[in-house]
Amino acid sequence: MRRFQFTISWRLTVWFFSIFFLGWLLFGLAMGLSLKSSLTNERYQTLARRLDRLQQLLDNSADENQADRVQEFTDFARATGNGLAEVRDANGNGIFPSPSAAARNFSWPKVDSAKTEQFLHVLSSGQPYWVLIRSYSAQGRSAYLFAAAPEAGNLIILAGFWRALLLSAPVLLLVSSIGGYWLSRTALRPVDRITAAAHSISIRNLSERLPVRRSGDELQRLAETCNAMLERLDSAVTQLRRFTADASHELRGPISFVRTVAEVALRNTKMDEESGKAFQEIIEETEKAAELLEGMLTLARADASSAGVALEPVELNAVLSEACTLARPIAETKGLTLLVNNHASRPAIILGDFSILRRLLWILLDNALKYTEAPGLIEVSLTIVAAHALIAVKDSGIGIDDESLPHIFDRFYRADPSRSQVEGCGLGLAIAKWIADLHQAELSVSSKLRQGSTFLIVFPIVSG
């Protein structure tokens, strides 16, 4: 399972989400508070207008008798809906008894005589109300005008607002998260392209460059900087390859000279036994050195793509037969059984180079011979499956441990040499891999320690 990574995209999304969430919260709070204050103000204005009318009414009825005034007040109270209005004296006694029972039973608050107007929030019968009290004096008589209005309507509007705000939260936050992720992904997509291109560049294709978008931004600079670095690496690696190729090439001469000299010296019949042994060792070591140099030169040329290989139709069974012909006498000498099975129902023709392919098979057979003890079995088979030809080289040898398996195609890699006394330089499978790549073939291995290994090459066959 892929581990979750807290990438820049995710971080930007979290930032975007947090900022949006905070903005939404502050905006919601500010809107809610401002709505509450404007609803309260609207209540105040309503009550103030009601008291203005009541005051007007009292002013205009100055000349009327008490009964007429009471009647007018009653009419006014009825006209104002629920009739929550009162006119009282400083001691709280009603000057005009309110026509509505609700007003009479209302818990009117105490008057603060120091103030000309009071706007209070009170509870009456468990319900919240706004009350406006205003002092009034006419013809030497002072009174207080009361008006009240329930707050319930405001509370319903406010509750509706908070509910709408909360219900909109998941949608808004989801949209903000998706939007944030989409924005950051879009902005960072060029980084992904650069990363993928950088990933695909290895020592084999150092001449490739990252795509540069002429956007004039940091990403263009990043791609250009990486390309400049690749340029330097490419030239350094090219120099190293040239040096390896030149050194391998130059060393071939002196080594073959040493070998020839040693061989000539060995022919001297008067040589004592010890000197003969020494010359024999020199010949063996020069053979190994020549093999190593040959491998290094092959790989150096392969790296420089200067192998100059021309591919032409090749019949795999013929390659297989030749390689096995070379291997058979060695197998017999070692006491090993070499079986060759051709399961192909038709000729397996691929585009390739006969001698290079024979070398690939020889590397695998040579390893099978080297790493299998007598009385072991080496089986080579050729099969055709759909548009592919499969060659398997299977042995019942010492096998490869899980730790070494991923590295055996690396240059100079040799699995724990203490397991076998086999000579080698660790370049064979690296060359085999290069040859497989050259033929667009897949070379893979499966192995079990002390049970044996199977090397499989899958070639694309020529259609028709």
Q: Does 368 bind ligand ADP (CB under 6 A)?
A: yes
Q: Does 453 bind ligand ADP (CB under 6 A)?
A: yes
Q: Which is nearer to ligand ADP, 143 or 398 (CB)?
A: 398
Q: For residues 365 and 324, is the Cβ–Cβ distance under 8 A?
A: yes
Q: Does 300 bind ligand ADP (CB under 6 A)?
A: no
Q: Does 86 bind ligand ADP (CB under 6 A)?
A: no
Using DSSP bridges, classify how beta strands 141-150 and 312-315 pair: parallel, antiparallel or unpaired.
unpaired
Q: How far is the CB of 360 from ligand ADP (least distance, A)?
A: 11
Rounded CA separation 33/40 (Å): 11
Name the maximum alpha-carbon separation found in the chain: 164
* Binding residues for ligand ADP restricted to 379-418, rule: CB under 6 A: 395, 397-400, 408, 413-415
Q: Which is nearer to ligand ADP, 104 or 450 (CB)?
A: 450
Q: How far is the CB of 442 from ligand ADP (least distance, A)?
A: 17
- The stretches of 304-441 forming alpha helices (DSSP H) are 316-334, 354-370, 428-438
130, 371, 434, 459: residue in contact with ligand ADP (rule CB under 6 A): 371
The count of other CB atoms within 10 Å of the CB of residue 344 is: 19
Tell me which residue has its CB nearest to ligand ADP: 424
The count of residues interacting with ligand ADP (CB under 6 A) is: 20
Q: Which is nearer to ligand ADP, 151 or 395 (CB)?
A: 395
Q: Does 302 bind ligand ADP (CB under 6 A)?
A: no
Rounded CA separation 148/431 (Å): 99
Q: Does 376 bind ligand ADP (CB under 6 A)?
A: no
Q: Does 456 bind ligand ADP (CB under 6 A)?
A: no
Give the number of residues written for the chain: 464
Structure tokens that stand for 427 in this block:
């370049």
Q: How far is the CB of 443 from ligand ADP (least distance, A)?
A: 12
CA 354 → CA 202, 323, 460, distances in Å?
Answer: 28, 11, 15
Using DSSP bridges, classify how beta strands 312-315 and 337-342 pair: parallel, antiparallel or unpaired.
unpaired
Rounded CA separation 55/439 (Å): 107
Residues of the shown chain interacting with ligand ADP in the complex, contacts defined by CB under 6 A: 367-368, 371, 395, 397-400, 408, 413-415, 424-430, 453
